[in-house]
Amino acid sequence: MTAIIMPDACDILMEALSISGTAFYDLVKNTGTPVTLRIYGPDGANEAFDNTKSACFFSPRGGQSVIGPELKVSFQFKLFSGTASKKECVALYRALCDILHEQNMIYTTSGVVMHATKDVEGLPDNDPVEGWPYVLAFFTCTIKGK
């Protein structure tokens, strides 16, 4: 079995957050504004965001090999609700906690999120440039590829 690398871990996490039937998926689908999952990075995936729909940006902060093909990764999340409501950002954060915090074995087509836990409580704030409310959150996930 091949060891997992960081881009694989990001893809697997993106798949896990996109699974229908979860509180996170249902919340953003029921608002009529599907969540936009984007990975921060040099590929420009985070450019041209205008806060007109819910968004969950995330990026890896670093990771370490565990045993064998697993990777333990710390991720930073920035959650926007698509509105000026801080309360709606917090609701999106709570839904993210429902799908990730203390969860085990979230299977995707590319691999599995074996375990996830939040590092600290989410931090509500406003974007310093645009003024949009968001919640900043940090989770550590143990991820294994197929």
| DSSP codes of every residue in 8-76 | HHHHHHHHHHT-TTSHHHHHHHHTTS--EEEE-STTSTTTT--SSS-EEEEEEEEEEE-STTEEEEEEE
| Structure confidence by residue, pLDDT tens digits, 119-141 | 999 999 998 877 889 999 999 99
**Contact between residue 128 and residue 119 where contact means Cβ atoms under 8 Å apart:** no
pLDDT at 46: 47
- Show Cβ contacts of residue 52 under 8 Å, excluding neighbours closer than 6 positions: 33, 82
Q: What is the percentage of the chain residues whose pLDDT exceeds 70?
A: 73
Burial bucket for residue 1 (CB in 10 Å: 0-12, 13-18, 19+): exposed
Q: How far apart are CA 21 and CA 87, in angstroms?
A: 23
Q: Please name which of 76, 72, 126 lies closest in space to residue 96, comparing C-alpha atoms.
A: 76
| CATH architecture for the domain at 6-41+52-145 | 2-Layer Sandwich (3.30)
Burial bucket for residue 109 (CB in 10 Å: 0-12, 13-18, 19+): exposed
| Structure confidence by residue, pLDDT tens digits, 69-100 | 788 889 989 888 888 889 988 988 998 898 88
Q: Give me the residue spans of the domains in the chain.
A: 6-41+52-145
Burial bucket for residue 83 (CB in 10 Å: 0-12, 13-18, 19+): middle
* Average pLDDT, rounded, for the chain: 78
| Structure confidence by residue, pLDDT tens digits, 64-76 | 766 667 888 899 8
pTM, two decimals, is: 0.81
